[in-house]
Amino acid sequence: MKLALEILKEQKKYFYLIRRLSLYELKSNNKSNYLGMAWELINPAIQILIYWLVFGTLMRREPIIISGNEVPFINWLMAGFFVWTLFYQSVIQGSKSIYTRLRMLSKMSFPMSIIPSYVIFSQFYIHLMSMLVTFLIFIIINQSINIYIIQLPYYMFAGLCLMFSISLVMSTLSTIVRDVHMLLNSTLKMFLYLSGVLWPITLLSDYPFLMKVMKLNPVYYLINGYRQSFFGNTWSIISEWKYTLFFWGLVLVIFLIGSRLHMKFRRHFIDFL
Amino acid sequence: MEKVISVKNVSKKYILYRNPKERLLDLIIPKKLGEDFFALSHVDFEAYKGDIIGFIGTNGSGKSTLSNIIAGIVPESSGQVNVKGNTSLIAVASGLNNDLTGRDNIELKLLMLGFNKKEIKELEPDIIKFSELEKFIDQPVKSYSSGMKSRLGFSISVNVDPDILIIDEALSVGDKAFAEKSLRKMREFKEKGKTMIFVSHSLGQMKEFCEKILWLEFGTVRAFGDVEEIIPQYEQFINKYKNMSQEQKNEYRNEIMRKVNE
Protein backbone atom coordinates (compact mmCIF):
# COMPACT_ATOMS: atom_id res chain seq x y z
CA MET A 1 0.00 0.00 0.00
CA LYS A 2 2.78 2.40 0.94
CA LEU A 3 4.62 1.60 -2.29
CA ALA A 4 1.48 2.26 -4.29
CA LEU A 5 1.12 5.69 -2.71
CA GLU A 6 4.73 6.42 -3.47
CA ILE A 7 4.14 5.67 -7.14
CA LEU A 8 1.07 7.89 -7.21
CA LYS A 9 3.08 10.69 -5.60
CA GLU A 10 5.74 10.31 -8.24
CA GLN A 11 3.13 10.63 -10.98
CA LYS A 12 1.83 13.83 -9.43
CA LYS A 13 5.23 15.34 -8.78
CA TYR A 14 6.58 14.67 -12.26
CA PHE A 15 3.40 15.33 -14.18
CA TYR A 16 5.09 18.16 -16.06
CA LEU A 17 7.82 15.77 -17.14
CA ILE A 18 5.26 13.18 -18.23
CA ARG A 19 3.55 15.74 -20.44
CA ARG A 20 6.76 16.98 -22.02
CA LEU A 21 8.32 13.58 -22.51
CA SER A 22 5.19 12.22 -24.12
CA LEU A 23 5.44 14.89 -26.80
CA TYR A 24 9.00 13.85 -27.60
CA GLU A 25 7.78 10.28 -27.68
CA LEU A 26 5.22 11.15 -30.36
CA LYS A 27 7.85 13.05 -32.29
CA SER A 28 10.43 10.31 -32.25
CA ASN A 29 7.88 7.68 -33.32
CA ASN A 30 6.81 9.53 -36.42
CA LYS A 31 9.79 11.54 -37.47
CA SER A 32 10.93 9.33 -40.30
CA ASN A 33 7.55 9.11 -42.11
CA TYR A 34 6.57 11.74 -44.61
CA LEU A 35 3.01 11.77 -43.38
CA GLY A 36 4.26 11.89 -39.81
CA MET A 37 1.60 11.78 -37.17
CA ALA A 38 -1.19 11.27 -39.70
CA TRP A 39 -0.24 7.59 -39.71
CA GLU A 40 -1.51 7.28 -36.17
CA LEU A 41 -4.98 7.87 -37.60
CA ILE A 42 -4.57 6.27 -41.01
CA ASN A 43 -3.57 2.94 -39.50
CA PRO A 44 -6.69 2.35 -37.39
CA ALA A 45 -8.84 3.77 -40.18
CA ILE A 46 -7.63 1.11 -42.56
CA GLN A 47 -8.22 -1.57 -39.92
CA ILE A 48 -11.73 -0.35 -39.30
CA LEU A 49 -12.49 -0.50 -42.99
CA ILE A 50 -11.28 -4.08 -43.20
CA TYR A 51 -13.28 -5.21 -40.16
CA TRP A 52 -16.28 -3.37 -41.48
CA LEU A 53 -16.01 -5.22 -44.76
CA VAL A 54 -15.58 -8.62 -43.11
CA PHE A 55 -17.86 -8.40 -40.09
CA GLY A 56 -20.23 -5.72 -41.28
CA THR A 57 -21.12 -6.75 -44.78
CA LEU A 58 -19.73 -10.13 -45.80
CA MET A 59 -20.87 -12.07 -42.76
CA ARG A 60 -24.52 -12.48 -41.90
CA ARG A 61 -25.44 -11.17 -38.51
CA GLU A 62 -28.29 -9.80 -36.43
CA PRO A 63 -28.72 -6.03 -36.31
CA ILE A 64 -27.07 -4.36 -33.33
CA ILE A 65 -29.53 -2.93 -30.87
CA ILE A 66 -28.48 -0.68 -28.01
CA SER A 67 -31.18 0.65 -25.69
CA GLY A 68 -33.86 -0.26 -28.17
CA ASN A 69 -32.34 1.57 -31.15
CA GLU A 70 -30.62 -0.08 -34.04
CA VAL A 71 -27.07 1.18 -34.50
CA PRO A 72 -25.34 0.86 -37.89
CA PHE A 73 -22.44 -1.56 -37.65
CA ILE A 74 -19.79 0.94 -38.76
CA ASN A 75 -20.83 3.46 -36.09
CA TRP A 76 -20.85 0.77 -33.46
CA LEU A 77 -17.42 -0.45 -34.57
CA MET A 78 -15.89 3.03 -34.54
CA ALA A 79 -17.17 3.81 -31.06
CA GLY A 80 -15.37 0.80 -29.63
CA PHE A 81 -12.41 0.34 -31.90
CA PHE A 82 -10.41 3.43 -31.01
CA VAL A 83 -10.47 2.66 -27.31
CA TRP A 84 -9.31 -0.85 -28.18
CA THR A 85 -6.40 0.61 -30.21
CA LEU A 86 -5.54 2.84 -27.29
CA PHE A 87 -5.54 -0.12 -24.94
CA TYR A 88 -3.54 -2.35 -27.28
CA GLN A 89 -0.89 0.24 -28.10
CA SER A 90 -0.55 1.47 -24.54
CA VAL A 91 -0.09 -1.96 -23.07
CA ILE A 92 2.32 -3.10 -25.80
CA GLN A 93 4.36 0.09 -25.73
CA GLY A 94 4.09 0.32 -21.96
CA SER A 95 5.37 -3.20 -21.54
CA LYS A 96 8.56 -2.55 -23.44
CA SER A 97 8.87 1.03 -22.25
CA ILE A 98 11.42 0.44 -19.53
CA TYR A 99 13.90 -1.89 -21.12
CA THR A 100 14.04 0.03 -24.38
CA ARG A 101 14.62 3.38 -22.69
CA LEU A 102 16.81 2.45 -19.80
CA ARG A 103 20.08 3.07 -21.60
CA MET A 104 19.01 6.55 -22.41
CA LEU A 105 17.80 7.38 -18.91
CA SER A 106 20.67 5.65 -17.20
CA LYS A 107 20.36 7.33 -13.79
CA MET A 108 18.80 5.25 -11.07
CA SER A 109 17.51 8.41 -9.45
CA PHE A 110 15.21 9.03 -12.41
CA PRO A 111 11.59 8.40 -11.36
CA MET A 112 11.25 5.18 -13.36
CA SER A 113 7.54 4.77 -12.73
CA ILE A 114 6.76 7.69 -15.02
CA ILE A 115 8.25 5.87 -18.01
CA PRO A 116 5.15 3.78 -18.68
CA SER A 117 2.94 6.77 -17.94
CA TYR A 118 4.51 9.04 -20.51
CA VAL A 119 4.39 6.31 -23.11
CA ILE A 120 0.69 5.81 -22.38
CA PHE A 121 0.12 9.54 -22.43
CA SER A 122 1.57 9.86 -25.89
CA GLN A 123 -0.96 7.24 -27.02
CA PHE A 124 -3.69 9.13 -25.25
CA TYR A 125 -3.10 12.24 -27.36
CA ILE A 126 -3.67 10.13 -30.44
CA HIS A 127 -6.80 8.73 -28.87
CA LEU A 128 -8.17 12.21 -28.24
CA MET A 129 -7.55 13.06 -31.87
CA SER A 130 -9.32 9.95 -33.09
CA MET A 131 -12.26 10.68 -30.78
CA LEU A 132 -12.50 14.10 -32.34
CA VAL A 133 -12.58 12.52 -35.79
CA THR A 134 -15.25 10.10 -34.60
CA PHE A 135 -17.41 12.98 -33.41
CA LEU A 136 -16.99 14.79 -36.71
CA ILE A 137 -17.96 11.71 -38.67
CA PHE A 138 -20.99 11.11 -36.45
CA ILE A 139 -22.14 14.67 -37.02
CA ILE A 140 -21.71 14.32 -40.76
CA ILE A 141 -23.60 11.03 -40.99
CA ASN A 142 -26.28 12.24 -38.58
CA GLN A 143 -25.70 9.77 -35.78
CA SER A 144 -27.55 11.33 -32.87
CA ILE A 145 -25.59 11.77 -29.65
CA ASN A 146 -27.33 12.50 -26.39
CA ILE A 147 -26.54 13.60 -22.85
CA TYR A 148 -25.06 10.24 -21.86
CA ILE A 149 -21.93 11.13 -23.81
CA ILE A 150 -20.67 12.99 -20.75
CA GLN A 151 -19.81 9.59 -19.31
CA LEU A 152 -17.03 9.35 -21.87
CA PRO A 153 -14.34 11.22 -19.86
CA TYR A 154 -15.01 8.83 -16.98
CA TYR A 155 -14.38 5.83 -19.21
CA MET A 156 -11.23 7.47 -20.57
CA PHE A 157 -9.96 7.97 -17.06
CA ALA A 158 -10.88 4.42 -16.09
CA GLY A 159 -9.02 3.22 -19.18
CA LEU A 160 -5.89 5.17 -18.30
CA CYS A 161 -5.90 3.69 -14.80
CA LEU A 162 -6.25 0.17 -16.14
CA MET A 163 -3.54 0.63 -18.77
CA PHE A 164 -1.13 2.18 -16.31
CA SER A 165 -1.60 -0.63 -13.81
CA ILE A 166 -1.10 -3.32 -16.42
CA SER A 167 1.93 -1.52 -17.87
CA LEU A 168 3.48 -1.22 -14.44
CA VAL A 169 3.32 -4.99 -14.02
CA MET A 170 4.29 -5.87 -17.57
CA SER A 171 7.14 -3.36 -17.92
CA THR A 172 8.81 -4.83 -14.85
CA LEU A 173 8.28 -8.44 -15.85
CA SER A 174 9.37 -7.97 -19.45
CA THR A 175 12.51 -6.15 -18.36
CA ILE A 176 13.45 -9.19 -16.30
CA VAL A 177 12.31 -11.82 -18.80
CA ARG A 178 12.00 -10.52 -22.34
CA ASP A 179 9.72 -13.40 -23.37
CA VAL A 180 6.92 -11.93 -21.30
CA HIS A 181 6.58 -9.21 -23.89
CA MET A 182 6.14 -11.79 -26.64
CA LEU A 183 3.53 -13.64 -24.62
CA LEU A 184 1.68 -10.40 -24.00
CA ASN A 185 1.65 -9.66 -27.70
CA SER A 186 -0.15 -12.87 -28.59
CA THR A 187 -2.48 -12.66 -25.60
CA LEU A 188 -3.59 -9.21 -26.66
CA LYS A 189 -4.35 -10.39 -30.19
CA MET A 190 -6.67 -12.93 -28.61
CA PHE A 191 -8.32 -10.23 -26.51
CA LEU A 192 -9.35 -8.41 -29.68
CA TYR A 193 -11.83 -11.22 -30.27
CA LEU A 194 -12.74 -11.85 -26.64
CA SER A 195 -13.55 -8.28 -25.69
CA GLY A 196 -16.43 -7.72 -28.05
CA VAL A 197 -14.62 -5.24 -30.24
CA LEU A 198 -15.78 -6.80 -33.48
CA TRP A 199 -18.96 -8.66 -32.57
CA PRO A 200 -21.55 -7.92 -29.91
CA ILE A 201 -21.22 -10.18 -26.89
CA THR A 202 -25.01 -10.50 -26.86
CA LEU A 203 -24.57 -13.06 -29.64
CA LEU A 204 -23.79 -15.42 -26.76
CA SER A 205 -27.14 -14.83 -25.02
CA ASP A 206 -27.87 -18.56 -25.32
CA TYR A 207 -24.97 -19.20 -22.98
CA PRO A 208 -25.67 -16.81 -20.09
CA PHE A 209 -22.80 -18.02 -17.93
CA LEU A 210 -20.18 -17.57 -20.64
CA MET A 211 -21.57 -14.13 -21.40
CA LYS A 212 -21.33 -13.11 -17.77
CA VAL A 213 -17.72 -14.21 -17.55
CA MET A 214 -16.86 -12.29 -20.68
CA LYS A 215 -18.50 -9.19 -19.31
CA LEU A 216 -16.10 -9.26 -16.36
CA ASN A 217 -13.25 -8.59 -18.77
CA PRO A 218 -12.08 -5.04 -17.93
CA VAL A 219 -11.43 -4.29 -21.60
CA TYR A 220 -15.02 -5.16 -22.37
CA TYR A 221 -16.09 -2.83 -19.58
CA LEU A 222 -14.29 0.04 -21.31
CA ILE A 223 -15.47 -0.74 -24.82
CA ASN A 224 -19.04 -1.27 -23.67
CA GLY A 225 -18.81 1.95 -21.68
CA TYR A 226 -17.75 3.90 -24.76
CA ARG A 227 -20.63 2.44 -26.77
CA GLN A 228 -23.15 3.13 -24.02
CA SER A 229 -21.93 6.73 -23.88
CA PHE A 230 -22.38 7.16 -27.60
CA PHE A 231 -25.60 5.25 -28.24
CA GLY A 232 -27.18 4.32 -24.91
CA ASN A 233 -29.91 5.95 -22.92
CA THR A 234 -28.90 5.02 -19.40
CA TRP A 235 -26.15 6.04 -17.01
CA SER A 236 -24.24 2.85 -17.57
CA ILE A 237 -21.70 3.57 -14.82
CA ILE A 238 -24.50 3.28 -12.27
CA SER A 239 -26.91 0.96 -14.00
CA GLU A 240 -24.13 -1.60 -14.32
CA TRP A 241 -22.68 -0.83 -10.92
CA LYS A 242 -21.68 -4.43 -10.23
CA TYR A 243 -19.35 -4.42 -13.21
CA THR A 244 -18.08 -0.96 -12.28
CA LEU A 245 -17.17 -2.22 -8.82
CA PHE A 246 -15.53 -5.33 -10.20
CA PHE A 247 -13.54 -3.24 -12.69
CA TRP A 248 -12.14 -0.92 -10.04
CA GLY A 249 -11.40 -3.79 -7.70
CA LEU A 250 -9.42 -5.48 -10.44
CA VAL A 251 -7.54 -2.28 -11.33
CA LEU A 252 -6.65 -1.81 -7.69
CA VAL A 253 -5.31 -5.34 -7.36
CA ILE A 254 -3.24 -5.06 -10.55
CA PHE A 255 -1.94 -1.68 -9.44
CA LEU A 256 -0.91 -2.98 -6.02
CA ILE A 257 0.91 -5.94 -7.57
CA GLY A 258 2.49 -3.62 -10.13
CA SER A 259 3.77 -1.14 -7.56
CA ARG A 260 5.26 -3.92 -5.47
CA LEU A 261 7.06 -5.46 -8.41
CA HIS A 262 8.19 -2.12 -9.77
CA MET A 263 9.57 -0.86 -6.47
CA LYS A 264 11.29 -4.13 -5.73
CA PHE A 265 13.19 -4.21 -9.01
CA ARG A 266 13.55 -0.58 -10.09
CA ARG A 267 17.04 -0.15 -8.70
CA HIS A 268 18.23 -3.25 -10.49
CA PHE A 269 16.62 -2.75 -13.89
CA ILE A 270 19.96 -1.86 -15.42
CA ASP A 271 21.44 -5.20 -14.34
CA PHE A 272 18.90 -7.02 -16.50
CA LEU A 273 19.91 -5.35 -19.74
CA MET B 1 37.87 19.63 3.58
CA GLU B 2 34.47 18.35 2.62
CA LYS B 3 34.17 14.72 1.71
CA VAL B 4 32.06 14.36 -1.42
CA ILE B 5 32.49 10.74 -2.41
CA SER B 6 32.76 7.92 0.04
CA VAL B 7 32.82 4.34 -1.14
CA LYS B 8 32.94 1.79 1.65
CA ASN B 9 33.52 -1.91 1.20
CA VAL B 10 31.68 -1.92 -2.11
CA SER B 11 31.33 -5.08 -4.17
CA LYS B 12 29.61 -5.59 -7.46
CA LYS B 13 28.59 -9.10 -8.29
CA TYR B 14 27.46 -10.33 -11.66
CA ILE B 15 26.12 -13.83 -12.08
CA LEU B 16 27.32 -15.57 -15.19
CA TYR B 17 24.94 -18.15 -16.58
CA ARG B 18 25.86 -20.82 -19.05
CA ASN B 19 22.67 -20.31 -21.04
CA PRO B 20 19.40 -18.36 -20.95
CA LYS B 21 17.56 -21.37 -19.52
CA GLU B 22 19.72 -21.31 -16.43
CA ARG B 23 19.07 -17.62 -16.04
CA LEU B 24 15.32 -18.15 -16.06
CA LEU B 25 15.48 -21.12 -13.69
CA ASP B 26 17.51 -19.09 -11.25
CA LEU B 27 14.67 -16.58 -11.01
CA ILE B 28 12.12 -19.26 -10.29
CA ILE B 29 13.72 -21.91 -8.10
CA PRO B 30 15.39 -21.11 -4.78
CA LYS B 31 18.55 -23.10 -5.54
CA LYS B 32 21.38 -20.87 -6.72
CA LEU B 33 22.59 -21.36 -10.26
CA GLY B 34 25.27 -19.66 -12.27
CA GLU B 35 28.76 -18.60 -11.42
CA ASP B 36 29.49 -15.48 -9.40
CA PHE B 37 31.76 -12.94 -10.93
CA PHE B 38 32.97 -10.02 -8.88
CA ALA B 39 33.59 -6.97 -11.02
CA LEU B 40 34.48 -5.17 -7.80
CA SER B 41 35.23 -6.65 -4.42
CA HIS B 42 35.60 -4.75 -1.17
CA VAL B 43 36.59 -1.45 -2.70
CA ASP B 44 37.22 1.47 -0.33
CA PHE B 45 37.86 4.92 -1.61
CA GLU B 46 37.22 8.53 -0.72
CA ALA B 47 37.35 11.82 -2.52
CA TYR B 48 37.26 15.38 -1.18
CA LYS B 49 35.85 18.44 -2.84
CA GLY B 50 38.11 19.63 -5.63
CA ASP B 51 39.99 16.36 -6.01
CA ILE B 52 40.93 15.25 -9.47
CA ILE B 53 41.33 11.52 -9.46
CA GLY B 54 42.40 9.17 -12.21
CA PHE B 55 41.29 5.54 -12.33
CA ILE B 56 43.87 3.28 -13.90
CA GLY B 57 44.15 -0.43 -14.37
CA THR B 58 44.25 -3.08 -17.04
CA ASN B 59 41.17 -4.08 -19.01
CA GLY B 60 38.52 -5.65 -16.81
CA SER B 61 39.87 -4.19 -13.60
CA GLY B 62 36.55 -2.57 -12.74
CA LYS B 63 37.28 1.06 -13.60
CA SER B 64 34.10 1.57 -15.54
CA THR B 65 32.01 -0.38 -13.05
CA LEU B 66 33.25 1.79 -10.21
CA SER B 67 32.64 5.00 -12.13
CA ASN B 68 29.14 3.81 -13.05
CA ILE B 69 28.40 3.08 -9.41
CA ILE B 70 29.61 6.50 -8.31
CA ALA B 71 27.54 8.12 -11.04
CA GLY B 72 24.46 6.31 -9.75
CA ILE B 73 23.83 4.37 -12.92
CA VAL B 74 24.52 0.88 -11.69
CA PRO B 75 23.56 -0.27 -8.19
CA GLU B 76 26.20 -1.80 -5.93
CA SER B 77 25.67 -5.37 -4.74
CA SER B 78 26.92 -4.70 -1.23
CA GLY B 79 28.66 -1.94 0.69
CA GLN B 80 27.91 1.75 0.97
CA VAL B 81 28.20 4.56 -1.51
CA ASN B 82 27.68 8.17 -0.49
CA VAL B 83 27.90 10.89 -3.08
CA LYS B 84 27.18 14.55 -2.32
CA GLY B 85 25.98 16.69 -5.18
CA ASN B 86 24.90 15.74 -8.67
CA THR B 87 27.13 13.70 -10.88
CA SER B 88 27.49 13.64 -14.61
CA LEU B 89 29.09 10.73 -16.39
CA ILE B 90 30.53 11.20 -19.82
CA ALA B 91 31.05 7.99 -21.69
CA VAL B 92 31.66 7.25 -25.35
CA ALA B 93 28.32 5.55 -25.74
CA SER B 94 26.14 8.23 -24.20
CA GLY B 95 22.44 7.53 -24.51
CA LEU B 96 21.02 9.52 -27.37
CA ASN B 97 17.75 8.93 -29.19
CA ASN B 98 18.63 8.07 -32.78
CA ASP B 99 15.33 9.14 -34.30
CA LEU B 100 15.34 12.64 -32.91
CA THR B 101 17.47 15.55 -34.04
CA GLY B 102 20.45 16.77 -32.10
CA ARG B 103 18.46 19.72 -30.83
CA ASP B 104 15.59 17.52 -29.63
CA ASN B 105 18.10 15.26 -27.94
CA ILE B 106 19.56 18.17 -26.03
CA GLU B 107 16.11 19.21 -24.84
CA LEU B 108 15.12 15.66 -23.98
CA LYS B 109 18.28 14.95 -22.06
CA LEU B 110 18.02 18.19 -20.10
CA LEU B 111 14.38 17.48 -19.29
CA MET B 112 15.33 14.12 -17.89
CA LEU B 113 18.03 15.72 -15.81
CA GLY B 114 15.33 17.85 -14.24
CA PHE B 115 15.77 21.23 -15.91
CA ASN B 116 12.74 23.37 -16.64
CA LYS B 117 11.77 25.02 -19.89
CA LYS B 118 13.49 28.32 -19.16
CA GLU B 119 16.76 26.76 -18.06
CA ILE B 120 16.79 24.56 -21.13
CA LYS B 121 16.33 27.61 -23.36
CA GLU B 122 19.33 29.21 -21.70
CA LEU B 123 21.60 26.21 -21.86
CA GLU B 124 20.80 25.13 -25.40
CA PRO B 125 22.82 27.71 -27.37
CA ASP B 126 25.93 27.04 -25.27
CA ILE B 127 25.66 23.31 -25.83
CA ILE B 128 25.16 23.67 -29.57
CA LYS B 129 28.06 26.06 -29.83
CA PHE B 130 30.35 23.83 -27.82
CA SER B 131 29.47 20.74 -29.82
CA GLU B 132 30.47 22.42 -33.13
CA LEU B 133 27.69 20.54 -34.86
CA GLU B 134 26.42 23.66 -36.63
CA LYS B 135 23.81 22.81 -39.24
CA PHE B 136 23.85 19.14 -38.31
CA ILE B 137 22.11 20.02 -35.07
CA ASP B 138 18.74 19.77 -36.82
CA GLN B 139 19.51 16.43 -38.45
CA PRO B 140 18.53 13.13 -36.83
CA VAL B 141 21.24 11.69 -34.63
CA LYS B 142 21.31 8.44 -36.61
CA SER B 143 23.01 10.34 -39.43
CA TYR B 144 25.85 11.46 -37.15
CA SER B 145 29.35 10.05 -37.20
CA SER B 146 30.61 8.52 -33.95
CA GLY B 147 32.75 11.59 -33.37
CA MET B 148 29.73 13.85 -33.71
CA LYS B 149 27.70 11.74 -31.33
CA SER B 150 30.32 11.80 -28.64
CA ARG B 151 30.85 15.52 -29.14
CA LEU B 152 27.14 16.09 -28.57
CA GLY B 153 27.08 13.84 -25.52
CA PHE B 154 30.15 15.51 -24.12
CA SER B 155 28.77 19.00 -24.69
CA ILE B 156 25.54 18.20 -22.88
CA SER B 157 27.24 16.63 -19.87
CA VAL B 158 29.78 19.39 -19.52
CA ASN B 159 27.38 22.28 -19.86
CA VAL B 160 24.89 21.15 -17.23
CA ASP B 161 27.41 22.23 -14.61
CA PRO B 162 27.57 19.11 -12.43
CA ASP B 163 29.26 19.00 -9.03
CA ILE B 164 31.09 15.82 -9.85
CA LEU B 165 32.20 15.03 -13.35
CA ILE B 166 33.17 11.52 -14.35
CA ILE B 167 34.87 11.08 -17.70
CA ASP B 168 35.09 7.53 -18.94
CA GLU B 169 37.46 7.32 -21.91
CA ALA B 170 35.41 10.02 -23.58
CA LEU B 171 38.34 12.18 -24.60
CA SER B 172 39.81 9.51 -26.81
CA VAL B 173 37.21 10.13 -29.52
CA GLY B 174 36.99 13.20 -31.65
CA ASP B 175 39.85 15.06 -33.25
CA LYS B 176 42.75 16.70 -31.51
CA ALA B 177 41.20 20.16 -31.65
CA PHE B 178 38.06 19.04 -29.87
CA ALA B 179 40.08 17.10 -27.29
CA GLU B 180 42.11 20.26 -26.64
CA LYS B 181 38.95 22.26 -26.22
CA SER B 182 37.52 19.67 -23.85
CA LEU B 183 40.68 19.70 -21.80
CA ARG B 184 40.41 23.48 -21.59
CA LYS B 185 36.89 23.08 -20.26
CA MET B 186 38.20 20.56 -17.75
CA ARG B 187 40.80 23.05 -16.56
CA GLU B 188 38.05 25.59 -16.12
CA PHE B 189 36.26 23.06 -13.92
CA LYS B 190 39.45 22.43 -12.03
CA GLU B 191 39.77 26.12 -11.26
CA LYS B 192 36.20 26.21 -10.05
CA GLY B 193 37.16 23.54 -7.55
CA LYS B 194 34.91 20.79 -8.90
CA THR B 195 35.53 17.15 -8.21
CA MET B 196 36.50 15.13 -11.26
CA ILE B 197 37.20 11.52 -12.00
CA PHE B 198 39.11 10.44 -15.06
CA VAL B 199 39.06 6.96 -16.49
CA SER B 200 41.64 6.58 -19.17
CA HIS B 201 44.45 4.48 -20.53
CA SER B 202 46.40 7.54 -21.53
CA LEU B 203 48.99 7.99 -18.80
CA GLY B 204 50.12 11.22 -20.44
CA GLN B 205 46.75 12.88 -19.89
CA MET B 206 46.64 11.49 -16.37
CA LYS B 207 50.01 12.91 -15.45
CA GLU B 208 49.10 16.27 -16.80
CA PHE B 209 45.73 16.49 -15.21
CA CYS B 210 45.15 14.36 -12.13
CA GLU B 211 46.32 14.86 -8.60
CA LYS B 212 45.55 11.43 -7.26
CA ILE B 213 45.43 8.01 -8.79
CA LEU B 214 43.32 5.01 -7.87
CA TRP B 215 44.92 1.86 -9.24
CA LEU B 216 42.46 -0.97 -9.66
CA GLU B 217 43.41 -4.56 -10.26
CA PHE B 218 40.83 -7.29 -10.94
CA GLY B 219 38.17 -5.43 -9.04
CA THR B 220 40.27 -4.56 -6.02
CA VAL B 221 42.24 -1.50 -5.01
CA ARG B 222 45.93 -2.03 -5.59
CA ALA B 223 47.01 1.45 -4.61
CA PHE B 224 45.64 4.92 -3.98
CA GLY B 225 47.90 7.96 -3.72
CA ASP B 226 49.52 10.92 -5.40
CA VAL B 227 50.23 10.91 -9.11
CA GLU B 228 54.01 11.15 -8.74
CA GLU B 229 53.99 8.11 -6.54
CA ILE B 230 51.58 5.77 -8.34
CA ILE B 231 52.16 6.39 -12.04
CA PRO B 232 55.81 5.20 -12.06
CA GLN B 233 54.79 2.07 -10.15
CA TYR B 234 52.02 1.44 -12.64
CA GLU B 235 54.29 1.96 -15.62
CA GLN B 236 56.74 -0.51 -14.16
CA PHE B 237 53.95 -3.02 -13.59
CA ILE B 238 52.55 -2.61 -17.09
CA ASN B 239 55.94 -3.29 -18.63
CA LYS B 240 56.23 -6.46 -16.62
CA TYR B 241 52.63 -7.50 -17.29
CA LYS B 242 52.95 -6.93 -21.01
CA ASN B 243 55.69 -9.52 -21.23
CA MET B 244 53.85 -12.20 -19.26
CA SER B 245 52.41 -15.18 -21.10
CA GLN B 246 48.70 -15.93 -20.77
CA GLU B 247 49.37 -18.63 -18.13
CA GLN B 248 51.49 -16.29 -16.09
CA LYS B 249 48.78 -13.68 -16.30
CA ASN B 250 46.17 -16.14 -15.09
CA GLU B 251 48.41 -17.30 -12.29
CA TYR B 252 49.01 -13.72 -11.27
CA ARG B 253 45.30 -13.07 -11.29
CA ASN B 254 44.53 -16.09 -9.15
CA GLU B 255 47.15 -15.06 -6.66
CA ILE B 256 45.55 -11.62 -6.31
CA MET B 257 42.10 -13.11 -5.93
CA ARG B 258 43.35 -15.47 -3.21
CA LYS B 259 44.76 -12.56 -1.27
CA VAL B 260 41.47 -10.68 -1.53
CA ASN B 261 39.37 -13.58 -0.34
CA GLU B 262 41.48 -14.21 2.74
ipTM of predicted assembly, 2 dp: 0.77
Q: How many cross-chain Cβ pairs, A to B, lie less than 8 Å apart?
A: 56
Exposed e or buried b for every residue in A231-240, given b needs 16+ CB within 10 A?
bbeeebbeeb
Are B96 and B152 a contacting pair, CB within 8 Å?
A: yes
β-bridge partners, B111:
none
**Residue B3 is which amino acid?**
K
> Which residues of chain B have a CB within 8 Å of the CB of A110?
112
Residues present in chain B in total: 262
Question: Per residue in B208-220, pLDDT tens?
Answer: 888 889 988 888 8
- Nearest CA distance, A13 vs chain B (angstrom): 12
Are B173 and B146 a contacting pair, CB within 8 Å?
A: yes
Are B211 and B227 a contacting pair, CB within 8 Å?
A: yes
Q: Which residue has the higher pLDDT, A57 or A258?
A: A258
What per-residue confidence (pLDDT) applies to B244?
82
What per-residue confidence (pLDDT) applies to B158?
82
Chain B interface residues (partner A, CB cutoff 8 A): 14, 24, 27, 71-75, 89, 95-97, 99-100, 104, 107-108, 111-112, 116, 140
> Which residues of chain B have a CB within 8 Å of the CB of A109?
72
**Cα–Cα distances in angstroms (integers) from residue B116 to residues A45, B121, B163, B217, in the given order:** 37, 9, 19, 42
A178 touches chain B (CB under 8 A): no
> Which residues of chain A have a CB within 8 Å of the CB of B104?
24, 27-28
Are B92 and B171 a contacting pair, CB within 8 Å?
A: no
**CA distance linking residue B4 with residue B148, whole number of Å:** 32
In this predicted structure, the answer to whether residue A158 has a pLDDT above a threshold of 90 is: yes
> Which residues of chain A have a CB within 8 Å of the CB of B100?
24, 27-28, 31
Q: Is B100 within 8 Å of A28 when comparing Cβ atoms?
A: yes
For an interface test with A, the pick among B13, B70, B108 (most A C-beta atoms closer than 10 Å) comes out as B108
> Which residues of chain A have a CB within 8 Å of the CB of B112?
17, 21, 104-105, 107, 110
For residue B112, give the nearest of A110, A176, A271 by CB distance.
A110
Under the banding of pLDDT at 50, 70 and 90, the label for residue A257 is very high
- Nearest CA distance, B157 vs chain A (angstrom): 13
Q: Which of A246-255, A257-266, B4-13, B171-180 has the lowest mean pLDDT?
A: B171-180
3-state helix, strand, coil split of chain B in percent (to 5) is: 45, 25, 25
Domain ranges for chain A? 2-272
Are A146 and A228 a contacting pair, CB within 8 Å?
A: no
- Across chain A, mean pLDDT equals 88
Under the banding of pLDDT at 50, 70 and 90, the label for residue A155 is very high
Percent of chain B with pLDDT over 90: 0
For residue A28, give the nearest of B74, B95, B97 by CB distance.
B97
| DSSP H stretches of helix in chain B | 20-28, 63-70, 102-112, 117-131, 146-159, 176-191, 203-209, 227-242, 246-261
B54 three-class SS: strand
Domain B49-86+162-261 of CATH type 3.40.50.10300: no
Residue of A nearest to B117 (CA): A20
What per-residue confidence (pLDDT) applies to A225?
93
**Phi, psi angle pair for B261, to nearest 5°:** -75, -15
Percent of chain B with pLDDT over 70: 96
Exposed e or buried b for every residue in A182-209, given b needs 16+ CB within 10 A?
eebeeebeebbeebbbbbbbeebeeeee
Q: Is B72 within 8 Å of A31 when comparing Cβ atoms?
A: no
**CA distance linking residue B172 with residue B150, whole number of Å:** 10
**CA distance linking residue A97 with residue B200, whole number of Å:** 33
Under the banding of pLDDT at 50, 70 and 90, the label for residue A12 is very high
**CA distance linking residue B56 with residue B129, whole number of Å:** 32
In this predicted structure, the answer to whether residue A99 has a pLDDT above a threshold of 80 is: yes
> Which residues of chain A have a CB within 8 Å of the CB of B149?
none
A271 touches chain B (CB under 8 A): yes
**CA distance linking residue B154 with residue B1, whole number of Å:** 29
What per-residue confidence (pLDDT) applies to B262?
63
Question: Per residue in B171-197, pLDDT tens?
Answer: 666 677 877 888 788 888 888 888 889
**CA distance linking residue A158 with residue A218, whole number of Å:** 10
Under the banding of pLDDT at 50, 70 and 90, the label for residue B92 is low
Under the banding of pLDDT at 50, 70 and 90, the label for residue A188 is very high
Residue of B nearest to A268 (CA): B75
Domain ranges for chain B? 49-86+162-261
